[in-house]
Structure 1
Amino acid sequence: MRLAERPLAGVRVLDYAQYVAGPFATMLLGDLGADVVKVEPPTGDAWRHYNPHAPGESTWFYALNRGKRSVTLDLKTEEGRAASARLIAGADAVVHNMPPERAARFGLDRESVRAANPRAVWNCVTAFGTEGPDAGRLGYDIIAQALSGLLMADARPEDAVPRRSGGIAMADLTAGLLTCISVLAGVAGRERGRQAPGVEVSLLGAALAVQVQRFVRIGDSGEAADSGPLTAAELDRTARTTAGADRLEPYYRCYRTADSFLALACLNTAQRRRLLGILGLDDPWVADPQAAPADEAERAARAALVDRFAAVFATRPLDHWLSVLAKHDIPSGDVRLLGRLFDDRQVTVNGLVQTVRQPGVGPVQLLGNVFKIDGTAAPAARPAPRLGEHSAELLGELHGQPTGEPTDRPTGEPSGTPGPTGTPGPTASPGTPAPAASPGTPAPSAPAASPGTPATSTRAGHSPAPGVRQLRHTAERNGA
């Protein structure tokens, strides 16, 4: 399915966000057909410099910014802010992750965006929300996980300090999903005649959302809320409680087989009873295996039952168990390494891995389009853009100047005539771009925005092409 046929075709999203949450959100919007324009400072999104394999080249950046276009603007200058306002006038949504004061200076606060374009949905990703004692506090994923309790969700007795489970940025990625949802809701509401909303998402809220089933308290528990910093004793107690609960659950866990490992998931009593029949075992607690043991004798008996499960599974190879469990409609699976999924048939036939040709690098395999539209897996997107790769193209639209030929370029061939890989394209303000930020260090100027589908060209002697006409029409419609 071509970009023009996807649900968000014709929707333009400006992404001024850096790092993970905002770029992940806009990548998903691009997968749904939006034209995502990544507005970057002269030094680029800081994620370009995180764990680089070459100067300004990072696989972490590739993963979250494929399919986008990049324009560089120095929002510290009046000229850069003016160009940004003109881009906003032709946009359907704006996403950023700046602190409120900086957003206001750069014309990206809700009021400024609404003044530039009343129909633009405004989306801001903050660390902890814009109100309360931590409103102005700097934070990234691990800090949000720490302050939300998520960092303690998988504590283990061997942990000397709290750790991120699997090193996965769960707060960041969940915030990205919530931001994507907020853009879609805003655009849908606007099309029904409502005012384009301003929506905030926080890493703190996202980290709590991940724990939605645990973050429940009925009435007054009678227990005083804990206060003060976490102690080593509390870490140890939490870890032992978690491990103790895991130790007693036989139906939702992994087991060693004769030759590998098996993941098992029985979430209802019928599945659990069928499993007991296959294994030749009896379980008095089958109706509620998550219940806390009544006493130490019950705890010991239930732990012994888990050991009997493990002993049976260890007698036969993995393929035997997968076959038998499938015949009885009991969910199970083998345990795989992530690196092997690039060639996994289930992954590839559903379009969940794609290959792009990253300029100056060559073929790069990464996550494909997670949306299968009308039964069709989307083709490969364009690669992540080079810094400022589309500046001339996008800024030329604003001034009605000729731009390059339109193309979906699924193979990632570069467009226009940008400089070599990692070299910034033209910026809206004069002067030489500032030196690149060091790995993991925020860029000194405005955060980046997400690029998207290429705009259609304007050729000398011809009327503006559809992409340019659409930009001008949208700007005029919005009173810009």
Structure 2
Amino acid sequence: MTPQDHSNDSNEIADRPLAGVVVVDLTQVYQGPYATFLMAKAGAQVIKIEPIHGEPTRLRAKVSGGASLPMAMLNVNKKGITLNLKTEQGKALFKELVRHADVVVENFAPGVMDRLGIGWDVLHEINPRLIYGTGTGFGITGPDKGNLAMDVTIQASSGIMSVTGTPDGPPLRSGASVVDFLSGVHLYAGIVTALFERTRTGKGRLVEVSMQETAYPTLASNLGLVYRQQGKPSGRVGNRHGGLALAPYNVYEAADGHIAVVCATEHHWQNILKAMGREDLKDDPLLSTNKARVENIQNTDDFVESWTRTLSRDKLFALSKAFSIPAAPVRTLDEVMSDPHMHERGALEWFDDRDLGRIVLPTTPIRIHGAEQVPTVSSPLLGEHNQEIYGKWLGLSDEKLQSLREQEVI
């Protein structure tokens, strides 16, 4: 019997975009699990394979309870099994799963799967329709392919860190794991693109995504500054526009916190003057054009902050909406987790997790209108679905499963 024969009924509803797609998920930490999270939330049947002692994100729970939240966030709606791929029996079981799968996803270092004897070439022979997705730091070819990578090291090597921070301070990492999730989205997009192509060709594909390569386009504004300075180091500009091409464009002090304000057009600047009640300055030579404001950027920022400092975040945000000014208060994570707008849209939901209790979880940000949403199911316990996948799907007996456990294969 195939996995499709035993798939969860909730994933067989035709109006879920990836209904009927079986994904074998070897990914860990953030990048790969986010890609397969998006697949699960689109209706795919995702089988998460972990080492018998668990993947790194699960092991972080030993540090503190809250450290397990990423595991709960990124692995909902997945079946969880354990498998020791360093054993011959483990490899054989994996190949049997692949025989009936549509997608395999992994984010190991390049060469790991080949050294195990279960790389793309082997799996493509077993299942010519297989889409094989791999996420790496620097790609599977090139002189840097063997470099180990994590989000922070890619922020360093990609140049992101060099432009993050204040002009007189050290390079800083982004507070969020931006490259992990950015590359995870690209990995999802590449796999789904290959699945679409397969509907026409019937053939599988090897799909790869490099974290460093996904990061480069995010530096568009900063690269513009590099070209403008004819290759001289651009340095860090704090919260100002990365290319120093717009002003005001900064985070300003408010009476009770901070607010981000951006002027992308002259119309926005005129609206700021109206909100300030300072339309008398519309022809001021230091402020009347974006070019003038950029050339006198410290004066511009001081002028704007002399106004924002007198008002609360809420008052400033209300004025920004009333006068059509791109602005937003700098909010805490607690504030964001309770955001009424995100909860009303279903982007965030309260969920009773069996380990963490009542928590806020994100749903997929991809909205396919008219498609039925996939109700959230807790991330699996370690090996929770071994019996279901190996027993029901692959037809192994209870005696065989017990033997595999004793041999530390599953």
State TM-score, norm by structure 2: 0.84
Question: Separation in 1 of the partners of 2:368 and 2:67?
Answer: 31
Give the deviation of 1:250 after TM superposition: 4.2
Aligned to 1:262: 259
Give the deviation of 1:390 after TM superposition: 0.6
Does the Cα contact within 8 Å between 1:74 and 1:429 map onto a contact in 2?
Answer: no
Question: Is 1:192 paired with 2:200?
Answer: yes
- 1:360–1:428 Cα change, 3 Å: farther
Aligned to 2:144: 134
- Which of the two has greater helix per residue? 2
Task: Name the count of aligned residue pairs.
Answer: 391
Give the deviation of 1:340 after TM superposition: 2.3
CA offsets per residue over residues 37-71 of structure 1, 9 Å max, x none? 10111121111112535699822221221111111
How do 1:47-446 and structure 2 match up within 5 A? 47-52=57-62, 58-157=68-167, 159=169, 161-166=170-175, 168-193=176-201, 195-215=203-223, 223=231, 238-239=235-236, 250-279=247-276, 280=278, 281-282=281-282, 284=285, 286-289=288-291, 293=295, 299=296, 302-374=297-369, 378=373, 380-400=375-395, 429-431=404-406, 433=408
Aligned to 1:465: none
Q: Secondary structure at the match of 2:290?
A: coil
CA offsets per residue over residues 116-150 of structure 1, 9 Å max, x none? 21111111111111222211121211111111111
Question: Separation in 1 of the partners of 2:260 and 2:140?
Answer: 42
Q: Secondary structure at the match of 1:372?
A: coil
Which gives a bigger RCO, structure 1 or 2 (Cα 8 Å, sep 6+)? 1
Does the Cα contact within 8 Å between 1:368 and 1:380 map onto a contact in 2?
Answer: no
- 1:288–1:352 Cα change, 3 Å: same
Question: Separation in 2 of the partners of 1:150 and 1:219?
Answer: 17
38, 41, 44: which is aligned to 2:51?
A: 41
Give the deviation of 1:99 after TM superposition: 2.9
Question: Separation in 2 of the partners of 1:65 and 1:33?
Answer: 14
- 1:286–1:154 Cα change, 3 Å: farther
Question: Separation in 2 of the partners of 1:374 and 1:243?
Answer: 36
Q: Secondary structure at the match of 2:111?
A: helix
Give the deviation of 1:260 after TM superposition: 4.1
Q: Secondary structure at the match of 2:91?
A: helix
* Unaligned 5+ runs, structure 2: 1-9
Give the deviation of 1:286 after TM superposition: 4.9
Does the Cα contact within 8 Å between 2:16 and 2:372 map onto a contact in 1?
Answer: no
Does the Cα contact within 8 Å between 1:26 and 1:180 map onto a contact in 2?
Answer: yes
Question: Separation in 1 of the partners of 2:292 and 2:82?
Answer: 54
Does the Cα contact within 8 Å between 2:26 and 2:49 map onto a contact in 1?
Answer: yes
Question: Separation in 2 of the partners of 1:353 and 1:176?
Answer: 19
Give the deviation of 1:218 after TM superposition: 9.8
Question: Separation in 2 of the partners of 1:264 and 1:242?
Answer: 14
Aligned to 1:448: none
Of all paired residues, the percent bearing the same amino acid is 27
Counterpart code for 2:27: A
Give the deviation of 1:336 after TM superposition: 1.3
How do 1:13-28 and structure 2 match up within 5 A? 13-28=23-38
Question: Separation in 1 of the partners of 2:403 and 2:163?
Answer: 46
Counterpart code for 1:140: M
Q: Secondary structure at the match of 2:86?
A: coil
Does the Cα contact within 8 Å between 2:253 and 2:305 map onto a contact in 1?
Answer: yes
